[in-house]
Structure 1
Amino acid sequence: MSTITELIHSIPVDPQTGAIAVPIYQTSTFVQEAPGVNKGYDYARSNNPTRAAVEKIIAQLEGGATASAFSSGLAAIDAVIKLLKSGDEIVAVDDIYGGAFRLFNKVYEKFGIKVTYVDTSDLQAVFNAITPATRLIWLETPTNPTLKISDIAAIGRIAKAHNCLFCVDNTFASPVLQKPLELGADLVIHSATKYLGGHSDLIAGVVIAKTAQLGEEIKFYQNACGAILSPFDSFLLIRGIETLHLRVKQHGINAQALAEYLEKHPAVGKVFYPGLPSHPGHELAKQQSKGFGGIISFTLKEDTAEAATAFVTSTNYFKLAESLGGIKSLLCHPAAMTHKSIPAEKRRAAGVSDSLIRLSVGLEETNDLLADLEQAFTKLPVPAHAENVLSA
């Protein structure tokens, strides 16, 4: 049986009614036959049949023992960090999602958890950053937003040698393209808001654990802290996952065409997309992934925030918005939007320049998206030095 067929038929038919879609169990509590005797459910914060169904599907997708669904991607990250204690240290990717950076630095550092940021595409840098207090290595690959590629298997070996937990944010790749647990990760997280949901209509997060024991620890925090995914959003997430393989395939086809176009455009400074042979992580991405995804970032030759703003406010099909992974194309200016919480010097050091633009390539016709980018380039202001040349 193929992976796609297995996925589709892992979504259960309701045994009570025969409903082919998973029912939404919109209930807060469950009647018990006797004190402590129930049908597997007692209170909806602790468990819910609709949430249990999506958790089982996602655990199967990633090849994990368990999955826990949360009310947001950040709630999922928060649950993982709760595995640590005061005095523990994290080695994290430097080109990190701004929300994760804010959580690490503004919330957990004051509780005595230190975070060291390194370029995880440099294995020696990862190795050098580890101390006797390091308990967790935090990886995104591809990274957000400069799409660096890190060697999951090699970092997994480093983590194991130092008795560290190893967590991979697999949001950008999705389990269709990349399986971090098979490559040595202990935990995988997703902002399920993105590709897993796929329709820009829900907020959700998931943690997948390689072992049942680790999964139970995550589930303890899911129940104890209460940031659970609602029954309706669980239903929407299942609905999105049903078409995940088809959507990811088309996202990748469109993104490859747009990245090749951008690389040749005279107004573009640099293109970040692992599907391009010029990308430093291209060969590694080919080895550990089945595709290159639907996210592209690029800088402008006029490397200013003003030029970026002019571009992102001039597109038609690409809508200016935070988030990614939906069927409609989006674009954003990370320095002013998704990564604004990261200090400017740290942003720039990680490659997030003032003119960097991130595209979430949707499922529209490729030629329409190419035409939209082309007309936006015509709206860019003429650089001051060019005006001087023209006036001379």
Structure 2
Amino acid sequence: MSGFSTRAIHAGQNPDPTTGSVIPPIYATSTFAQDGVGGTRGGYEYARSANPTRTALAECMAALEGGRYGLIFGSGMSTTDTLLRVALRPGDHLLIPLDAYGGTFRLVDKVLSVWGIEHTPVDLSDLAATRAALRPTTRMIWSESPTNPLLGIADIAALADVAHSADIRLVVDNTFASPYLQTPLALGADVVVHSTTKYLGGHSDVVGGALVTDDSELAEQLAFAQNSVGAVPGPFDAWLTLRGIKTLAVRMERHSDNAERVAAALARHPKVSKVYYPGLPEHLGHEVAAKQMRRFGGMVSFEVAPDGGDDPAAEAVRVCGATRLFILAESLGGVESLIEHPAKMTHASTAGSALEVPANLVRLSVGIEDADDLIEDLLQALG
């Protein structure tokens, strides 16, 4: 199976051998009958360790990302936490993006730091700065491309060269792009992670995470850790994510179509001082994004020109509350369009740090509604 949509619909999802069901069943069971002591059927004994619905999703994710091993988690953050705890030890150091997702920063800065893990935020699009930030104790470069929320672009292949020349791992959070738009393993990354809550699920009705790697030893260690701590989704969550993946290709095309039009409209608006979208030719990462991505995705951020008052965030907050189609909500990647104020919502944890986001920044998850309606809504909100 070489085509993306073919893999999305069929990988790990053969008709059920017992009933012929063309959709993988939801195996709503906590335990499995054994054929004698230790004699499992197909490797299933207890649902925390493995569940056939979860296995189907793991195989599908591995196929979409072009990797050998896929693991499915209860959330994107449990994916991140399990990987970091397996791959790092007290005293180790990692690099993170200068505008990393607020949840990732919070985990590294507030939770893992207590455990003795050190980190340095760096602009990963600057390879010289990235090399300069490496230490003898550095064990990992954690990358996002595009980043959340400033849509920064890292050259994944070049970052892989930097990482491997230092004998460390490169991890890429591919949530914003999805495997339809970008496959980091093919560009040299060692591990790719996702919040499957977002574009993979695609309908704002399920929380989950996934990880894909070609490293057999790491995959074994991760599976052991996942089973030990229980960072697993329920079978219905896995089933919902599989259902969403089936339409990922057509949805990402529409997300990208709409986002390109929204970004262009915002770039022309007098009350918008800056637009962050890698599809715009003036974006600093445009050429790299065009090289390593199929399209530029459905995420757009922009800065609202301040109204001259004492609060630089006031006008951006007003715009977030003035839309009619764009729903004021956190998360992203669903079929409906969302709007949020990162400084007060998803990235509030970065306040006062090197990762603090602009107070007048607005982030959009551009859905698959009619683009004309979305643009009209934003224009009326801006005034």
TM-score (norm 2): 0.96
**Residues 158-189 of structure 1: CA distance to partner in whole angstroms, max 9, x if unpaired?**
11111111100000000001010011111010
Aligned runs of 1:191-270 on 2, under 5 Å? 191-270=195-274
| Equivalent residue runs for 1:1-392 within 5 Å | 1-10=2-11, 11-39=13-41, 40-82=43-85, 83-302=87-306, 304-348=312-356, 352-378=357-383
Once the 2 structures are TM-superposed, how far is the Cα of residue 301 of structure 1 from its aligned partner? 1.4
* Post-superposition offset of 1:94: 1.1
Task: State the distance in 2 between where 1:263 and 1:289 align.
Answer: 22
- In structure 1, how many angstroms separate the alpha carbons of the residues matched to 2:125 and 2:341? 24
Question: With structure 1 as the length reference, what TM-score do the two structures score?
Answer: 0.94
Q: Any gaps of 5 or more consecutive residues in structure 2?
A: none
Return structure 1 stretches of 4+ with deviation > 3 angstroms.
none
Alignment check: 8 A CA contact 1:180 1:188 kept: yes
Going from structure 1 to structure 2, the CA distance change for 1:345 and 1:269 (only over 3 Å counts) comes to farther
SS at 2:273's partner residue? strand
1:239-285 alpha-carbon deviations (Å, 9 max, x no partner): 00000000000000000000000001000000000000010100100
Give 5+ residue unaligned stretches, structure 1: 379-392
SS at match of 1:156: helix
Q: What is the CA–CA distance in structure 2 between the aligned matches of 1:6 and 1:113, rounded to whole Å? A: 38
**Alignment coverage as a number of residue pairs:** 375
Query: Are the counterparts in 1 of residues 267 and 274 from structure 2 also a CA contact under 8 Å?
Result: yes
Q: CA deviation at 1:191?
A: 0.5
Residue 345 of structure 1: how far off its partner (Å): 4.7
Q: How far off is 1:209 after superposition?
A: 1.1
User: 3-state SS of the aligned residue for 1:92?
Assistant: strand
1:103-143: CA deviation from partner (whole Å, max 9, x where unpaired): 00111111111001101110111100101100011000100
Query: In the alignment, is the contact (CA less than 8 A) between 2:100 and 2:355 conserved in 1?
Result: no
Instruction: Report the residue type matching 2:339 in the other structure.
Output: L
Q: Is the 8 A contact 1:185 1:210 kept in 2?
A: no
Residue 65 (structure 1) shift? 1.1
Residue 212 of structure 1: how far off its partner (Å): 2.1
Deviations 1:31-84 (A, max 9, x none): 101111111101100000000000000011001111111111000000111121
Contact 1:335 1:347 in 2 (8 A): no
Say whether the 8 Å CA contact 1:65–1:215 is kept in structure 2: no
The question of whether the paired residues in 2 share the 8 Å contact of 1:347 and 1:353 is answered with no
Deviation at 1:377, TM superposition (A): 1.0
2:298 touches 2:333 (CA, 8 Å); kept in 1? yes
* Paired residue secondary structure (2:167): coil
**8 Å contact from structure 2 (residues 4, 249) kept in 1:** no
Post-superposition Cα deviations, 1:284-328, rounded to whole Å, max 9, x if no partner, equal 000011110000000011172110111000001100000000000
Q: In 2, Cα distance between the equivalents of 1:345 and 1:165?
A: 25
Shift in Å at residue 237 of structure 1? Answer: 0.4
